[in-house]
Structure 1
Amino acid sequence: MKIINPSTLTQTVTDLISQIVIIPASPLAFISGQVALNEKGELIGKGDYLLQARQVFANLKLALEAIDTEAKSIVQMRIYVVNHKPELIDSIFQAGFEVFGERWPKTASTFIGVQALAYEEWLIEVDAIASISN
């Protein structure tokens, strides 16, 4: 198993998790749930779903870049949203399109409303599985 914790993503939680795990001889990378922390571990967009979603997707994009792949390689994505309401969907996907543009990953995905994430300030978390075979 190969563990990757790119310097472009926060190192705040890497004593607890790995940002990316690759299984040798497997064409898949497993990207840990990305939250709205910048590379310094600072929360971006406290209380704001749109701002947090932008940072979350930016972090996902950085994770993909760290393994030399892009959004079109995502085979599955799960989007977790605290206190989900249907009116949040548009702004969350808007943030994704702002980050990825036309390269927004059209993939098997699940949008999951949750009561809470690991920390009270976190509103959105996205994890993904990406193909790394060329």
Structure 2
Amino acid sequence: MSDPIHYLNPPLLARPNGFSHLTEATVDRMVFISGQVAYDPSGAIVGAGDLAAQTRQVFVNLGHALAAANAGFDSVVKLNFFVRDISEAAVATIRQVRKEFLVETALPASTMVGVAGLAKEALLLEVEAYALKG
């Protein structure tokens, strides 16, 4: 069976830094994961004021959601990041932590935007994911 995900970076687009310009997938099923934040299983915020700790918890939560769909991070085709107080340092922190979860040679398409706020004041990051199965 051929690889169901193809990572493409067309030569007429600027070389991407930390993402793929597009991912093409042949699938039987898509999985849509709501934005995950740094809540532990009890609903408490993990890492108040610590973007690295919150990023790690967000990716742990995404991993749990993917596992519930019998998928993994290698199934993710798109990530959307919503970041409070976005800066170059914040982007670098998020990218460093996500390396623990994503394969650098097969990065999904992604979007990262700065936002004025999230559901609770102490939350610094929310990430939603699209994955495939089949």
Deviation at residue 60 of structure 1 after TM alignment: 0.5
Deviation at residue 102 of structure 1 after TM alignment: 3.6
Following superposition of structure 1 onto structure 2, how do residues 6-45 of structure 1 map, counting pairs within 5 Å? 27-45=29-47
Return closer, same or farther for 1:103/1:72 CA change in 2, 3 Å cut-off. Answer: farther
Q: Which amino acid aligns with 2:120?
A: Y
Return closer, same or farther for 1:104/1:127 CA change in 2, 3 Å cut-off. Answer: farther
Instruction: String of CA shifts for 1:85-105, please: whole Å, max 9, x gaps.
Output: 11111211121122x164786
User: Which of 1 and 2 has greater Rg?
Assistant: 2
Q: Please list every run of 5 or more consecutive structure 1 residues that lacks an aligned counterpart in the other structure.
A: 1-25
1:123 corresponds in structure 2 to: 124
1:69 corresponds in structure 2 to: 71
In the comparison of the two structures, how many residue pairs are matched?
Answer: 108
2:115 corresponds in structure 1 to: 114
TM-score scaled by length of structure 1: 0.74
Q: Runs of 4+ in structure 1 displaced over 6 angstroms?
A: none
* Higher relative contact order (CA closer than 8 Å, sequence separation 6+): 2
Q: Please list every run of 5 or more consecutive structure 2 residues that lacks an aligned counterpart in the other structure.
A: 1-27
Q: What's the C-alpha RMSD, in Å, of the aligned pairs?
A: 1.9
Instruction: String of CA shifts for 1:66-109, please: whole Å, max 9, x gaps.
Output: 111111111111011001011111211121122x1647861110
SS at match of 2:99: helix
In structure 2, distance between residues paired with 1:29 and 1:111: 20
2:9 corresponds in structure 1 to: none
Deviation at residue 131 of structure 1 after TM alignment: 0.4
